[in-house]
Copies of this chain bind each other. A is one copy, B any other.
């Protein structure tokens, strides 16, 4: 059994090469560029860990892990176009660097490329993997559409918001683990448990992400404090605050979330005041409890998987690590 960081290093070594032809240069340089921006490679490593829970890691797991990472990067490129995001992880986004049309196409060829890796696996599991991959890919697109729809909706129900987050971010974590489990020969019951473990972990992770944006230590978090607030982004915190705010607090939130072109002083004031309201509404404690609830649900489903506990240690450690990160 290997830890997340061991498998992350192994995957990175295999993945860190050019995946695309040379020509047309601009198209494939754009595709390759986003892969170099990096990230923790959580999703592909989940494929490997999902496999190893049930047996030795099969070569197929590396193919599927690569497909998943390519797919994830495809979504980043297209999401950044839709969000008109200039930067990602301190680097120019693909459309900023290569133009929107090339970024759009670069995303398309990355999605196609991901299916080439799926095609490399043994026939025995290809139908199940391809089916789960497709279902998940559609779900992620649906989540992105709902996220865009919500931008212009004044009031969003918690369940609708949680469903959007599940589609946009959590199901891919669950599916990555499940695809690994399929390759490991897991039965349907165990597949469902590990999928749910990943999905719930993804939900907890997103709550944590929203929490850290407002209450984390910016020096450690590596992002602008209150970045979500300045972008007027709907988050778990905002949803709760809008739900439990007094009339006066609600009026203030409405005011601040209507602001877009603030100067540096205005931005500072906005972040401070919004965070102040969040705290007064108890959004910080509420988010902590919500995260804990999802985390516990994830651990329960990990518990349900019918393999000896000792084998589950690395996945439990991963969950624990993701939950206690401060960045």
Binding site for B on A (CB under 8 A): 23-24, 26-27, 78, 81-82, 100-102, 104-105, 107-109, 111-113, 115-116, 118-119, 123, 126-127, 130-131, 134, 137-138, 141-142, 144-146, 148-149
Q: Which residues of B contact A78 (CB under 8 A)?
A: 104-105, 108
User: In the complex the two chains form, what is the Cα distance from A131 to B138 in whole Å?
Assistant: 21
Sort A-B residue pairs by CB-CB distance and give the 6 closest, nearest first: A27-B145, A82-B101, A112-B137, A24-B145, A119-B130, A109-B141
Nearest chain B residue, comparing its CB with the CB of A120? B127
Expressed in whole angstroms, the minimum distance between the Cβ of A140 and any Cβ of chain B is: 9
How often does this chain occur in the complex, in copies? 2
Most B CB contacts (10 A, CB to CB) among A24, A27, A108 go to A108
Q: Are A24 and B130 in contact, CB atoms less than 8 angstroms apart?
A: no
Nearest chain B residue, comparing its CB with the CB of A118? B130
User: In the complex the two chains form, what is the Cα distance from A167 to B170 in whole Å?
Assistant: 37
Q: Are B104 and A82 in contact, CB atoms less than 8 angstroms apart?
A: yes
Q: Which residues of B contact A142 (CB under 8 A)?
A: 23-24, 27, 109
User: In the complex the two chains form, what is the Cα distance from A111 to B111 in whole Å?
Assistant: 9
Q: Which residues of B contact A112 (CB under 8 A)?
A: 111, 134, 137-138, 141
Q: Which residues of B contact A131 (CB under 8 A)?
A: 116, 119
Q: Which residues of B contact A123 (CB under 8 A)?
A: 123, 126-127
User: In the complex the two chains form, what is the Cα distance from A256 to B312 in whole Å?
Assistant: 70
Q: Which residues of B contact A113 (CB under 8 A)?
A: 134, 138
Q: Which residues of B contact A145 (CB under 8 A)?
A: 24, 26-27, 102, 105
Expressed in whole angstroms, the minimum distance between the Cβ of A175 and any Cβ of chain B is: 13
Once A109-B141, A111-B111, A119-B134 are accepted as A-B contacts, the answer to whether A24 and B127 lie under 8 Å apart by CB is no
Contacts A24-B146, A26-B145, A109-B137 supplied; 12 other A-B pairs, CB < 8 Å: A27-B142, A81-B104, A82-B100, A105-B144, A107-B108, A108-B108, A109-B138, A113-B138, A115-B130, A115-B134, A119-B130, A123-B126
